[in-house]
Amino acid sequence: MNAIVLKFGGASLSTPKKMLKVADIIIERKKELKNIVVIVSAMGDTTDKLLKLARKIHTDPPKREQDMLISVGERISMSLLSMALQKKGINSISFTGSQSGIITCDNHFDAKIIDVKPFRIIDELKNNKIVIVAGFQGISQKKEITTLGRGGSDTSAVAIASAIEAESVDFYKDVMGIYNKDPKENKDAVFFNKLNYDESLKIITSSKHFLLHPRALELAKQNNIKLIIRSFKKNAKKFTSIENDAFKKDGKIVYEKV
C-alpha cells in the first residue's frame, strides 16, 4: 500500500494538551499522505505506575495477569488519540495489538512477533480512516494477550510497516534525529542526516538511553524498512533517515525469532 507508519512515544502523549498536538501533527501529514497508520506507546510513565501497582498486590506478579494489566496503557493512548482526531473532524479508528493482527509467541512480558495479519488495518485505510494502533502488545497463538517487553512499541511499528509494505516508519522524538552523542548534554554533538542500519545500531546501543530500540532496528534491516527519526516539536527542519540503498529484498517478510 501507499502508506506510512507514524510512531509516537509516551513523552509526546503524556498529557491531553500534548495528545491534541500529536493529533495536529497527524492531520498535517494526512495532507500529503493518503494512508496513515499511527502506533502509540502508553502515556508518560503509565507502564511503570501499573507495574508498581501490581507489585503492591503481589511481589512476583503472574506474568499473564501482568500482561493483562500493562497492556491497558497503550489502549488508553490509542482511544484518546482517536478521540482527539475525531474532535478535529478526522475519520479515525483505534485498534489493540490483537485487533491489528499482531500474532506473537506464547511468552508473556517479553513476547516475540511471529506474524502480522493486518486485514482490519487495510480495510479501514481503504475507508480513508487514520488507523491508531496500540503498540507493545499482541495476541498469542493460544489467544492470550501478550506484551513485547521494553521497546515493544517501536517493534510493533516496524512489524506493521512490513506487513502493509509501508514506505517508511517515522519515529517522533524530542530531538531532531540521531547524533553521535546526546545533544542535550553535549553542545558539540554531531548530527547525522543519513545512516545505514548497522551504523545507527552501533550509535544507539552505545547510548545511555535507546533513541530507537535495537530490536526494531534489526527487524527493519531484515525487511528493508526505511526509518526516519524526527522531532515532534514545531518547525523542526532536520531528520535522520536510516536505510540501506543497496539492499535487495526477496519479497518475503521476516518477523522475530522465538
82 domain-assigned: yes
Total domains in the fold of the chain: 1
Q: Domain containing 194 — which CATH number?
A: 3.40.1160.10
144 domain-assigned: yes
111 domain-assigned: yes
Q: Which of 153, 147, 187 is nearest to 169 (CA)?
A: 153
3-state DSSP assignment of residue 8: strand
53 CB neighbour count, 10 Å cutoff: 12
Burial class (CB in 10 A: 0-12, 13-18, 19+), 235: exposed
pLDDT at 248: 59
10 domain-assigned: yes
Cα 216 to Cα 227: distance, rounded to the nearest angstrom:
10
254 domain-assigned: no
Could you tell me what percentage of the chain is helix, strand and coil, using 3-state DSSP and rounding each to the nearest 5?
40, 20, 40
CA neighbours within 13 Å on the CB side: how many for 9? 21
127 domain-assigned: yes
52 domain-assigned: yes
253 domain-assigned: no
Amino acid 77 reads S
Mean pLDDT by 10 residues, the chain (258 residues): 94 96 97 96 97 98 98 98 98 98 97 98 98 98 95 96 97 93 89 95 87 94 96 86 77 90
The range of the structural domain enclosing residue 103 comes to: 3-242
pLDDT at 249: 64
3-state DSSP assignment of residue 131: strand
